[in-house]
Amino acid sequence: MPLKEGYHILEESLDEESYPHEKTLDETFEEMKKISTMDTFWNACNSVQGLTILAMPLVTSFGGYWFLFGITAIAVLSNYTSKILIQCLYEQFPGKGRTRVRNTFADIGDAFWPKYGRLMVDATKFLELIFVATVNPIACGEAIYYIVPYLPVGKQLWILIFGLAMIPNVFLSSVKLLSKISMLTIFFALTNFSIIVAYCLGHSASWKAEDLQVFDPVRFPLALGVVLASFSSQIYLTVLEGNMRCPEKFNAVINYAYIAMTALKIGVGAFGYLTFSGSVSDMVSNNLPLGLYRITVNIVITVLSFSGYSLPMFAVFDMVEKSAPRYLTARFLNQDGHRPNRPCVVLLRFVLTSITILMAVIIPHFTLFAAFIGSGTGTAIALVFPSVFYVKIFYWELRWYEIVLNVFIVCFGLLMAACGMVSTGQQLYLTFSTKDVDF
C-alpha cells in the first residue's frame, strides 16, 4: 500500500473524540488569547474604582449620611444594570440554548433602535471615555503640584507635562497586556487607599459622628455625579465578558468587584471627611501633612493615574478604529479592510490622546470634571441605556415588577442627570469667570 494512501485511510479512521487536535486548533488558539477570571476581576475593579475615590471625602461633606446612603444605592443599581446589559448580548434559541448574538454595547443599541441606536451609544461612549481618561493627567498634575509646591511650576504645566508623557499609550494593542496594567493599577490603588485609611484611623479620636449630619442641597447633586462617574463600568463590560474564558462566571466576578470597591469608597469617603472635616481638599491625599505621608501617597497616585489612563483610552481606540471603515476610503485601511492601516492608527490615536491632554489643561479641577462625567454621559451609560435596552429587547419575557424596576431606574437616572448638570453647570461658570474655585 502506498504511504500516502495508507495515511489517508488512517486519518479517516480517527474520529473527532480520539483525534481532536486538527478541528480544535483555531478554537484553542482563540482560547489562549482570552483572559482568566482573575484577570477579569482586576479589570472590573479597575473600571469601578477610578481616581474619583480620592474625591469621596470632599463629596461626603456635601451630603454626610445621605451621601453614604446614595453611594450604596447607586452601587446596587449599577451592579444590576451591568448584569442586564450583558444579558442583552444573548438570545434564547430552541435547541441551541442561550447564544451570544451581539458583541458590543453599540450592537445592543442597534437592536434597541436600528437606525440610530448604534450612533447614540457610540457618541455617548466616546464622550464618556474621553472624559474619564482626561481625569488621569489632572490627577497626576495635582499630585505632583502638592508634593513640590515651592517649585516655580504651576498646576496646569504639571498636567501638560504628564499628559504628554501618556502619549506612548498610542502603541497599546493587547487586551492581556491591558489586564496586567489593570492588575498593577489595582495594586497601587489598594496600597494608596490603605495608607490614607490608616492615617485617618490613626486620628479617629478626633472624629465626631455629628459631622456626618450635613446636607448641602446645592452641591449634593454634584456629589452624586461624582459617584456615578466612579460606577459607570458598563462601558467596558461587553468587551471584558466577551474576552473571558469562563463567561458564565461574569455575574459572580462583577459582584465581588462591586462589593470590594463600594466598601473602599465608603471607607475612604467617611474616614477622610471625619478626619479633615471642613478643610477637606479636592483630592484627600492633599490633606495629608507635607512630608513622608503626602510624598508617598502622591507618588503612588501619579503611577496609578499613569496606569489608569490606559483602560479608557484603549476602549476609545478600539471603538474609533472599528468605526473607521465607514468613513475612510480603501487606501487608508489595512488588507482585510476592517481597520485603518498602521500610519492611520497612530495618527488617530495621537489626535485622541491630544484631545484629552488639551481638555485636562483647560479644566484642571478634579472633582468638577468627575461630576460633569457622572451627571452627563455617566448617567446614560450606567443607568438609562441598560434599563431602556433591556426592557425593549426582552419586553415580552419580563414580569411586571421587572419592567417597573427598570422604568424607576430610568426616571431616577434622568432626574440625577438634570440636577447634576445644573449644579455642574453653575460650577463650570464659576470656574471660567474666576481664577479658581473652592469646591
Q: What gap in Å lies between CA 227 and CA 217, rounded to an integer?
A: 16
Whether the pLDDT of residue 153 is over 60: the answer is yes
Q: Would you call 190 exposed, middle or buried from its count of C-beta atoms within 10 A (0-12, 13-18, 19+)?
A: middle
- Sign of the torsion angle spanned by Cα atoms 270, 271, 275, 280: negative
Contacts of residue 10, defined as CB under 8 A and 6 or more positions apart, other chains included, come to: none
- The C-alpha cell at 5 is 494512501
Instruction: Pick the range with the lowest mean pLDDT from 18-27, 152-161, 234-243, 260-269.
Output: 18-27
CATH number of 33-431: 1.10.4160.10
Tell me if residue 109 falls in helix, strand or coil. Answer: helix
336-367 pLDDT tens trace: 766 777 788 888 889 999 999 988 888 767 66
Domain locations in the chain as residue ranges: 33-431
Instruction: Pick the range with the lowest mean pLDDT from 27-31, 216-220, 377-381.
Output: 27-31
* pLDDT of res. 54: 82
Whether the pLDDT of residue 6 is over 50: the answer is no
- Over the chain, what is the mean pLDDT? 81
97-117 pLDDT tens trace: 788 999 889 899 999 999 899
Q: What gap in Å lies between CA 439 and CA 60, rounded to an integer?
A: 12
Helix (H), strand (E) at residue 99: strand 97-100
Q: What gap in Å lies between CA 428 and CA 369, rounded to an integer?
A: 9
* pLDDT of res. 285: 82
182-213 pLDDT tens trace: 677 777 777 878 888 888 999 888 898 888 98
Whether the pLDDT of residue 21 is over 60: the answer is no
* Residue 50 backbone zone (phi > 0: left; psi -120 to 50: alpha; other: beta): left
Whether the pLDDT of residue 85 is over 60: the answer is yes
Contacts of residue 426, defined as CB under 8 A and 6 or more positions apart, other chains included, come to: 218
